[in-house]
Amino acid sequence: MTQPNRIEGGQVDRSKEVKFTFNGKNMRGYAGDTLASALLANGQRLVGRSFKYHRPRGILTCGSEEPNALVQLRSGAHQEPNTRATVTELFDGLTATSQNHRGSLEHDLMAVTDLLAPFLSAGFYYKTFMWPKAFWEKLYEPMIRKSAGLGSLSMQDDPDSYDKGFLHCDLLVIGAGPAGLSAALAAGRSGARVILADEDFTPGGRLNAETLEIDGMGGADWAAQALAELAAMDNVRVMTRTTVYGAYDHGIYGALERCTDHLASSDGKPRQILWRIYSKRAVLAAGSTERPIAFGNNDRPGIMLAGAVRAYVNRFGVTPGQQVAVFTNNDDGWRTAADLAAKGVEVTNIIDTRDAPAVCDVPGARHIRNAAVMDTVGRKGLKSVTLTSGQVIPADCLAVSGGWNPNVHLTCHQRGRPEWRDDISAFVPGRDLPVGMAVAGAANGAMTLAAALTEGRDVANAQIKDLGFTASRKTAPKAEDEPRDCAPMWHVGESKNRAWVDQQNDVTVKDIKQSYREGFRSVEHLKRYTTLGMATDQGKTANIPALAIMAECTGKSIPETGTTIFRPPYTPIPLGALGGRARGKDFRPYRLTPSHDWASKNGATFVEVGNWLRAQWYARPGEQGWRDSVDREVVMTRNSVGICDVTTLGKIDIQGKDAADFLNVVYANAFGKLPVGKVRYGLMLREDGICYDDGTTARMGENHFVMTTTTANAVLVFRRMEFVRQCLCPDMDVHLISTTDGWAQFAVAGPNARNLLRKVVDEDHDISNEAFPFMACGEVTVCGGTPARLFRISFSGELAYEIAVPARYGNAMIEVLMKAGEEFDAVPYGTEALGVMRIEKGHAAGNELNGQTTALNLGLGGMVSAKKDCIGKTLAQRPEMNRDDAIRLVGFRPVDRSLKLIAGSHFINQDEEAVMANDQGWMTSVAYSPSLGHSIGLGFIKSGHERMGEIVRAVSPIHDTEMDVEIVSAHFIDPEGERLRA
Amino acid sequence: MRYSAFKIFTQGLTGNKGWKPVWREPDPKPEYEVVIIGGGGHGLSTAYYLAKEYGITNVAVLEKGWLGSGNIGRNTTIIRSNYMLPGNEPFYEFSMKLWENLEQDFNYNAMISQRSILNLVHSDAQRDAFIRRGNAMFLAGADAEYADADQLRRELPFLDFDNARFPIKGGLYQRRGGTVRHDAVAWGYARGADSRGVDIIQNCEVTGFDIQNGTCRGVETSRGPIRAKKIAVCVAGSSGRVMAKAGMRLPIESHVLQAFVSEGLKPVLPGVITFGAGHFYVSQSDKGGLVFGGDIDGYNTYAQRGNLPVVEDVAEGGMAIMPIIGRARLLRSWGGVMDMSMDGSPFIDKTHIGGLYFNGGWCYGGFKATPASGFCYAHLLARDTPHPVATEMRLDRFRRGHLIDEKGQGNQPNLH
Amino acid sequence: MIINHPLLGPRDAAEFVYLGDASLIDRPDWQDKNADEKFYEYGYLRENPAGKHQELWYHEQGDRSWLVLTRDTLTHEITKVEMARDVARARGRSK
Amino acid sequence: MPEFTLISAPPLAGYDQSFDGVTLSAPADLAIVSIALPLGGEAAAENAISAAYGAALPAPGKSVLSKDGKARLVRLSPDAAFVIFTHATPDVEPHVAARLKGDAYTTDQTDVWTGLEIAGPRARTALERICPLDISPQTFVEGDAARTIMEHLGVLIIRTGDDGFLLLSASSSAKSFLHAVETSIHNTA
């Protein structure tokens, strides 16, 4: 197939033909094309349908501001909706399909909505679909939802990978057009570290699209030469295909680099990289965006921005039409006419809104002064335009120029407001720029090439001088100031037919007028009511014309009417890139206990506890489910001995002359008199008096303690203790360091615990009950000299120890413990059995220490020492926290012992209705107790300690069930604690 | 002007030229019975219910910018009543019931869409806590449903069930939860209040309070002094700034919550999904955009913008739980300033200054509360006693030790 | 944001954890006769200014120091960064 | 002879890989002891350190080698430092304590951390993907040390050569850490 609209020239590589398909049609283009330029080359003017009215649409622009030419790119799991053809680099094998139509693109059944347009004006949906009430959810909304949205996700997992990265520079230059290149050259020559980022695959910005000269050479050639110079500098990093999408605090910019989007396959490498750029200074040289003029039926395929038309001709060697008319209110529109004519494209008419002489000579073109386009003909492709005079001009392409808007977007990301400049009839960056940012070139309202080059250099020099660099003395490149006169015209008032302002969201001049009429007059109301500027192009071509039309309605000036600011991102960013590597199992790091390998070889099922993986239970062959394993682990531990990896508990090494005093501040109970060689249970409160954490702290020496925290709170407790140390007690000699990962720690529990340990702990350490009683601790050696720490503490209620060895020996240690325990039928047990045993003992854990309960609630009120201050002491004394009917932690058992208790059920008194006003408390933790042979639970209930033996209802309406339960002591097993002291 | 399909039809035939302004643009009068400071969702709903339910129409709503420019215009549109504590749940369920009848009540289609909200469960402890909450919802007359992993796999096959770092073990549904077209709520209330005689005065900034002998008699504004018997502050996000003018310190910090919307997509999500373990929640708007968010940035700020770490954190959560969204693009992000209170719960109360009332501290629960907040505030203003579902939302609760701390995070606002 | 650590130089705020108003340094005396009221104010009431704010940040992914930043809550401009320990001493928290 | 023996198995023991332009290895027998300077006893502690190692404790964010070149002193914060050296057996803390003669508090940190040495001309390019710090040659000079966060993991990075870095991260997440660094190398290859 030929490329009927391909003409001579341009930067495409004609030696590299590229095959692609659009809606299944085979087409060809060249390397260096965008999908849009290739579609135009192939004569494909109709490329999509608009959002609301399903109007046939073509290509309006040649850049990221494109509202119409959105396609679904690639197929299968790689399908990429809403992709702008104008910035999609063509590659061999590219497939694209059009979006938002039912039936074919050419014959979209939904186009009927266009006929209903009079009834679908701005905000129509707020005024209807209310009757009958039930119809909204059942009929109206599903209908609206089905028609909403443009492209579709594949609904498959994104098959590509993404990466992130961090870059640092003295000066970030955003945009590699003339101003950006000039800025980067100046800064680069001074020796500053420069990053130059540009969204295009060929830097140069408008230089690639123009026929202007710099230093006597073609603009594109000059750009290539400048890039070569920059590339040769060690201190400069040029990043193409990189969009700086957001300006964040203190000189941090977000940037997206598209690494493989121009290739058929990513080949295992990241598709895109999300960079965080730390800059000391930045120069925004983002150029400007041409704005359209609104007139009747101005949305037809073939009606394009004039600068884009000339870009397709000059850069890509493609003419968007064979018979082109130009409609302009400014001098720049004339460049399009002149450039096209020079390339042999027929330009029939130049329709200028101004009553002014020709800007330049355009062979073959008729100059129509003081005129405007009022309407057009050609549903799926422009055929002719009608002027206000009634004259009809045949054309298959209308190049429209309404002037240029500086790309101020990034200047607004920290809520800076642009300012209006009358001389160029446009908003320019305001004074409140992001810190460190300066703006140069067209983005700053320097609308000519010469001005952009000079400003780029000057602004960059000023920025780097601030940083202490000496600016290079090289002068700015030379170019002419091209004519830039502009007489603003925003819409053609004579137009009778709908004139589009926001083409993608189908917002017309009439909608804006209606919005005014209904009182939605502030810019924000206008946007929200009409959806103007809310489409994927973020209103880059629509916002300013809309504002101008609103200004016309209000009779105020444009700046008085308002401004519109932009938010990140500058162009849409794939969520995959923002997520980086955080996918699947890589979402967060894994923390593995030292016995992890052993556990996985011995039937362990693991459970996530924060970032840790812990063995939940160890299944043995023949067991029918987890309950079998857990029951066995509990029974065997209580009968003989069990071993549990408890490494995940936080461990904090505390040293210093004031360490004991320090512990008195952070713990509710007193630690000052804890003897060396002893462990004490500690309760920590938050400053608001609520229980925060608990654990044991061992005194290893006069000035040396080892604290354990819960797994979940290890980091938080450390943080709070540092707060106390540095901010509340700055002159205490106390030092904290985490040793959580340093020690592999195992609980060895059960009547044979000592017998087992006796075989492992070296003989010179006496661990008899007399020498090493309950709550003793000390440094020992195991297995012939390996240093270890031994603590006689018990969570299970059995005779128990925790033994810690350096983590490198952890996997070996559990093997040794199991081997030594063979004669006692030792079992490893997991977190489930641990949980069962602690419930049997009535120990509080995370479900009870949930951040809402006090020491009083937990039955630990007596632990809060009256003799000293501690964090949380005073606020814990507030009256509502000490009510007589405060909830208390107690035990529960089902009256019918065959029933299973439900954690999360609420307690209601007998004969009372199950409503919130009668709520007595809730069940926190439940377990099947193999020791007792029935379900047991812990829970909080009002005045629970005074209600032993009472029967209440445990209701769980979410399960549509309830049962009678008896309030009992939380200590289901060995209430006197004889076992643990054995 | 009553809205209906017929009205749209007749207007359409005549070029849509007969639509009238939805609200007047009155100049402030020198005195009102009630002046409401803040023309956001809560302020406008307060005015609406004052007029409609309590017959008080001599009311002005003073708005510094354009009406609806507060957090009603910058939230993620979710409504739900899936709270746990007695201080909250009856209030939010009252709000839900108001939502359910709102459109017919104020004749404006705010596109209330009860598409369901799902809180994913990733651990047994979380399941226990969610069951407790689901049961509390039932006790307060709301609906809740616990779905196990198999059910979710059938209903939401696109979630990452097989390769997730934090496996999905189930979830707590509230089927009546969902989303609302947020701006339309402000406009509907404004229209309803205006038509009942309330003056909505935009571009009118309160610069000070006229407090004499412990009683507030009016306000100073950028459009002159306005006297009133009762002054009702309702400026969540700016509460600190405004109440400082009355010399009050509050149990509130201002924080920014970022929100995000993707490009428009054909239907992806049935309802709202929250992934607490990954700091991510998402729904899909009627226009097709995925609307999502996560945690607050975490530092005090009044700037309506956030920073990159949270943007990336939110997207990481999204990609981890729902890797089908990788090729959808983030279209826009923005930040709203939240009144983060000391226990994560709000205030609707009198102050110690006579005639001065305070409504704020909504954290990021403000939007769903809009109807009940307005209703209860109107009740308090009209009757001088708290509405029965808002009895615990008092400023003195911290002094008394009565905390409404759903998350159990304590007196650190950025943790709620 | 970037926090210019007094000892370590500029670091991304992502390395830090935020706590709140630096008045949290000024923990009341538990034996004060108005201790209840003072702890209530300490624990719950905040200036929450729109403008300069002194606040506590913890360099968790760094040197574990607590810092007091003076930061503008309207612009996020940071004008001062001090070691919290020094501030605490200056505010009389030495024992 | 004890009945049982324990075999040391640090998480990344023996890891040693070469990629195009980068080598990555887990140093064997890396020993780490933390040193805390007592309040009011800072000068004595610093003197003891100088005496023991023949090098003065550097400023926070810096490290120096001991006079014999066998140990590296890393100052982490005003009152905390690490001494890093090679030692195979789990008895390093008493050794260091003895050398410091009680003038500082010491804690064994060896098993808390896992180490990776990354070196080669492409080391910085790989680290760019995970390290938020400016580690360009002129900014992060030899001996500079910084704790930061990479892929959600706390990391102490020390520049040990022209293009060589020692990375220390928590030993429990060693595999995730290795994966993060390897992925960076792969992604930049």
Model confidence pLDDT, tens digit, residues A575-598: 999 999 999 999 999 999 999 999
Residues A107-112: contacts with CB under 8 Å, at least 24 apart: A108/A49, A108/A54, A108/A56, A110/A49, A110/A54, A110/A147, A111/A49, A111/A53, A111/A54, A111/A55, A111/A56
What pLDDT shows up at residue A713?
96
CA atoms of A888 and A138, how far apart (whole Å): 48
Cα-based distances in Å from A902 to A112, A938, A958: 57, 10, 11
In the structure encoding, which two tokens stand for residue D106, read together?
């010491």
CA distance D95 to chain A (A): 14
What is the DSSP-derived secondary structure letter of residue A486?
A: B
CA distance D129 to chain A (A): 4
Query: Mean pLDDT over residues D147-151, rounded?
Result: 98
Closest partner residue to D187 (CB to CB) among A269, A704, A731 is A269
Query: Mean pLDDT over residues D86-90, rounded?
Result: 96
DSSP helix/strand/coil, A561: helix
Q: Do D149 and C14 touch (CB under 8 A)?
A: yes
In the structure encoding, which two tokens stand for residue A547, read together?
């504002």
Chain C, 32 to 61: residues with Cβ < 8 Å from chain B are: 40-41, 43-50, 53, 55
Contact indicator for B335, A582 with CB cutoff of 8 Å: no
Q: Which helix (H) or strand (E) holds D188?
A: helix D174-188
Q: Cα torsion at A27, A28, A32, A33 (round to 10°)?
A: -30
Q: Is the pLDDT of residue B52 over 70?
A: yes
Q: Which helix (H) or strand (E) holds C3?
A: strand C2-5
Subunits with 3+ C-beta pairs closer than 8 A to C: A, B, D
Q: Cα torsion at A411, A413, A414, A419 (round to 10°)?
A: 40
Q: Work out the mean pLDDT of chain D and round it to a whole number.
A: 97
**HSE-up of residue B314 (Cα within 13 Å, Cβ side):** 23
Q: Do A730 and C85 touch (CB under 8 A)?
A: yes
Cα angle for residues A183, A186, A188 (degrees, 5° grid): 100
What pLDDT shows up at residue A678?
98
Contact indicator for A622, A603 with CB cutoff of 8 Å: no
Q: Residues B237-262: pLDDT tens digits?
A: 999 999 999 999 999 999 999 999 99
Q: Domains in chain C, start-ordered, CATH in brackets?
A: 2-90 (3.30.2270.10)
CA distance C18 to chain D (A): 16
Residue to substitute from C4, C8, C64, interface D, most D β-carbons within 10 A:
C8
What pLDDT shows up at residue D1?
61
CA atoms of B338 and A150, how far apart (whole Å): 33
Contact indicator for D20, D186 with CB cutoff of 8 Å: no
Residues of D within 8 A of C61 (CB-CB) are: 147-149, 154
Closest partner residue to C43 (CB to CB) among B241, B303, B411 is B411
Q: Do A536 and B129 touch (CB under 8 A)?
A: no
Q: Is the pLDDT of residue B85 over 80?
A: yes
**HSE-up of residue A129 (Cα within 13 Å, Cβ side):** 20
Residue numbers of chain A with a pLDDT score lower than 70: 1
Q: Is the pLDDT of residue B371 over 90?
A: yes
User: For A761-797, b where at least 16 C-beta lie within 10 A, e where not — what string?
Assistant: beeebebeeeebebbbbbebbbbeebbbbbbbbbbbb
Closest partner residue to B16 (CB to CB) among A151, A514, A879 is A514
Q: Do A252 and C17 touch (CB under 8 A)?
A: no
Closest partner residue to D6 (CB to CB) among A703, A704, A813 is A813
Query: Mean pLDDT over residues B320-341, rounded?
Result: 96
Q: Do B112 and A157 touch (CB under 8 A)?
A: no
How many residues are given for chain C?
A: 95
CA distance D134 to chain A (A): 6
Give the max Cα distance, chain B.
67
What pLDDT shows up at residue A129?
85
With CA atoms as reference, the chain C residue closest to B247 would be C47
Residues of C within 8 A of B299 (CB-CB) are: 1, 13, 18, 55, 71
CA distance D136 to chain A (A): 9
Q: Do A165 and D129 touch (CB under 8 A)?
A: yes
Residues of B within 8 A of A413 (CB-CB) are: 305
Residue numbers of chain C with a pLDDT score lower than 70: 95
In the structure encoding, which two tokens stand for residue A227, read together?
């890039």
| Residue with tokens 């608001």, as numbered in its chain | A688
Burial class of B300 by CB neighbour count within 10 A (0 to 12, 13 to 18, 19+) = buried
Helical packing angle, B41-54 and B182-195, nearest 10°: 40
Query: Mean pLDDT over residues B398-402, rounded?
Result: 97
Residues of B within 8 A of C56 (CB-CB) are: none
Rg over alpha carbons for chain A, rounded to the nearest Å, is 37
CA atoms of A757 and A802, how far apart (whole Å): 10
Confidence of residue B380 (pLDDT cuts 50, 70, 90): very high
What pLDDT shows up at residue C81?
98
What pLDDT shows up at residue A842?
97
Residue to substitute from C66, C69, C73, C76, interface A, most A β-carbons within 10 A:
C66
Query: Mean pLDDT over residues B146-162, rounded?
Result: 97
CA atoms of B19 and A96, how far apart (whole Å): 43
Contact indicator for A790, A761 with CB cutoff of 8 Å: yes
Q: Residues A365-375: pLDDT tens digits?
A: 999 999 999 99
Q: Are strands D63-65 and D105-108 parallel, antiparallel or unpaired?
A: unpaired
Contact indicator for B226, B60 with CB cutoff of 8 Å: yes
Cα-based distances in Å from D158 to A147, A540, D64, D118: 57, 47, 10, 10
Q: Are strands B226-233 and B31-37 parallel, antiparallel or unpaired?
A: parallel
Model-level pTM? 0.97
Q: Which of A321, A488, A498 is nearest to A394 (CA)?
A: A321
DSSP helix/strand/coil, A704: strand
What is the DSSP-derived secondary structure letter of residue A136?
A: I
Q: Do A759 and D4 touch (CB under 8 A)?
A: yes
Q: Do D6 and A742 touch (CB under 8 A)?
A: no
Closest partner residue to C18 (CB to CB) among B238, B299, B302 is B299
Q: Which of A646, A488, A659 is nearest to A558 (CA)?
A: A488
Residue A509, phi-psi category: left (phi > 0), alpha (psi -120 to 50), beta (remainder): alpha
Beta bridge partners of residue A502, listed in sequence order: A507
